[in-house]
Amino acid sequence: MKKMLKVVAAMALASTVLFTSCGGSKGSGKKTVGVAMPTQSSERWINDGANMKKQLEAAGYAVELQYAEDDVQMQVSQLENLIAKQVNCLVVAAIDSTALVNVLATAKQNNIPVIAYDRLLMDTDAVSYYATFDNKGVGTAIAKYIETAKSLKTAKDEGRSYTIEFFMGSPDDNNALFLYNGVMEVLKQYLDNGVLKCKTGRTSFEKTCILRWSQETAQQWCENYLSGFYANEKLDIACTAFDGFAYGVKAACEGAGYKVGVDWPLITGQDAELMATKNIIAGSQTCSIYKDTRLLASKCVTMVEAVLKGTQPEINDRTQYNNGKLVVPSYLCTPVAVDKYNVDEVIVGGGYYTKEQLGL
């Protein structure tokens, strides 16, 4: 999977360089939008960049698309370069939400508006709007799926309990804490009453967050858990916040001898990546949270047009996202849980993947 993504990433990077070498920000007569994405190691961010570029170009803008490969200093340098080129607007999906304060201040000094894309930009007054998904709602959707699938509401009275381990998002991504809070808003009661048992004892955000959303770290954690805490008892639920984590858990479970359809744990995820969706169909991942990046891109484009034309975009949240300097006006897209029972209706019916892509 990683090798395949690296090939795709290299091709995408080459096309980005080719595109950006075709003319400067002011050369075409079009207004230019600089788009800074975090990494091409995840299918999700490749899709986000492609959707943003496609929709901005369709709206009449030139686009400078950059990926920083999870290197914070590289992203800072890319933004400095875009500012030096005098782009008309910046769309930023940060690697580290707190690390861009100085470069964003430079953007503001140069009268370049900034839109935060799916990761809130922290500790800055340079950001105009924030386009994202309902991140707490993502966590709630994951937890409610578990609650329903395992009938947790009646489990105590019926004498049932389940083991669970948590794999949460990166501590430098503001979204990760929102997601964690959504998960615990639903599941904490079951941890408290013993219906859910976390044998490692790792239930706090600090103990479950995984830096840079690393699939490798998730796999290492799960391997250690299974060998050290679950040698004599099976893991029933892996509550993961990202499809990449689900891949890592899957690999760890396969290595420990778990079998799909026999003793395979319930494994959650987020993003409905192509591989994850195939795994859901095959039974090695239970569910994922579908986030239509085409919709997110379209909302972001309306924000770009608003700051460049002096109009107001559609906003549906003005209270949740305080970045330490201001409450950032936001649009929150709605996430949807998908599993083998609704994948055809939601994913294929929505045109996100074709049946051919999914092998259906």
In the chain, CATH 3.40.50.2300 sits at: 2-133+292-333, 135-290
Please state, as a whole number, how many other Cβ atoms lie within 10 Å of the Cβ of residue 338: 24
The pLDDT value given to residue 262:
98
Give the CATH class of 135-290. alpha beta
Distance CA 335, CA 145 (A): 13
- Contact partners, residue 264, CB within 8 Å, separation at least 6: 253, 258, 283, 284
Instruction: Check residue 81 and give its pLDDT.
Output: 98
Model pLDDT, residue 257: 98
Average pLDDT over every residue of 73-89: 98
pLDDT digits (tens, 9 = 90+) for 303-336: 999 999 999 999 999 999 999 999 999 999 999 9
Rounded-to-5 percentages of helix, strand, coil across the chain? 45, 15, 40
Residue 27 has pLDDT above 90, yes or no: no
Position 28 scores a pLDDT of 57
**2-133+292-333, CATH topology level:** Rossmann fold (3.40.50)
Distances (CA, A) of 319 to 132, 176, 315, 326, 328: 14, 18, 11, 10, 8
CB 186 within 8 A of CB 147: yes
Instruction: Report residue 31's pLDDT band, with 50, 70 and 90 as the boundaries.
Output: very high
Give the pLDDT confidence score for residue 8 in this predicted structure: 42
* Amino acid, res. 300: C
Helix/strand/coil (H, E, C) string of 325-349?
CCECCEEEECCEEECCCCHHHHHHC
Distance CA 54, CA 130 (A): 20
pLDDT at 218 exceeding the cut of 70: yes
- State the Cα torsion 195-198-199-205 to the nearest 10°: -160
65, 52 Cβ separation under 8 angstroms: yes
What mean pLDDT, rounded, does the chain reach? Answer: 93
